[in-house]
Structure 1
């Protein structure tokens, strides 16, 4: 008789699915908080990264925001159409991306809304556990991204 749990009850699978559920619910809550500003998590992430890396190329922004280059191109176009990002000729064929004054104002307005969503979720953890949880998530991410033998 096999004492291993059924594959659909595997603690390892349950861990992965719990992590995915948490990510999904967090993304939904952030989208809800950003929707009144005609933004979503993807657009906000790009705005944040353009602020962090003024002049970054689309490929640099795609890597930093976990988007494909094609998706990022669409997001940048939407932000540009709304006057939040300006794009200009940069190095060679690369297009540089910068926040406009309106983009900076928008980011300053919406970031506290997103931060409140995350802070509210973190109330489930005692303050000392929050730092440990972040460290554990970073370790988990590092394990997923290191080269496989």
Structure 2
């Protein structure tokens, strides 16, 4: 296998393991990584539409709509018709409480994963990952 393929597969493995650990940490809150990210970003962008949130969270609009529906069913998100036919989404007080309780658990997973890195190596790692992502999207 070429070094390039090895790199890509290693990156995928790291992403997969991180997502699994995040899901495990978020399970007690009846969330998974996708639901938590949607709730987190909606708290940052009150009133955002599903398509706006989809762009931010890197989901398709259809997937994001499903996540929002699940969050609404749990009482964590309120959805109302706003701008024309666009549905505005807002985090409820229960959603804010859930987010406040779940976020430290998610952050702890990432902190644990990065524990072996010095602050300088963390910064360099993040810089390299951003460069890599930019090269894939043509943003570099």
Q: Could you tell me which runs of 5 or more consecutive residues in structure 2 were left unpaired when the two chains were aligned.
A: none
Show the counterpart of 1:12. 4
Instruction: Verify: 1:123 aligned to 2:115, yes or no.
Output: yes
Q: Which runs of 4+ in 1 moved over 4 A?
A: none
* Superposition TM-score, scaled by structure 2 size: 0.97
Alignment size in residue pairs = 139
Q: Please report how far the alpha carbon of residue 42 of structure 1 lies from its aligned counterpart in structure 2 after TM superposition.
A: 0.4
Using the TM superposition, name which of 110-119 and 120-129 deviates more. Answer: 120-129
Show CA shifts across 1:70-111 (max 9, x none): 111111111001110001111111111000001011000000
What is the distance in 2 between the residues matched to 1:61 and 1:43? 12
TM-score after normalising by structure 1: 0.91
In structure 2, the residue matched to 1:56 is 48
Unaligned runs of 5+ in 1: 1-8
| CA radius of gyration, larger in | 1
Matched, 1:110 2:102: yes
Q: How many angstroms apart in 1 are the aligned matches of 2:89 and 2:95?
A: 12
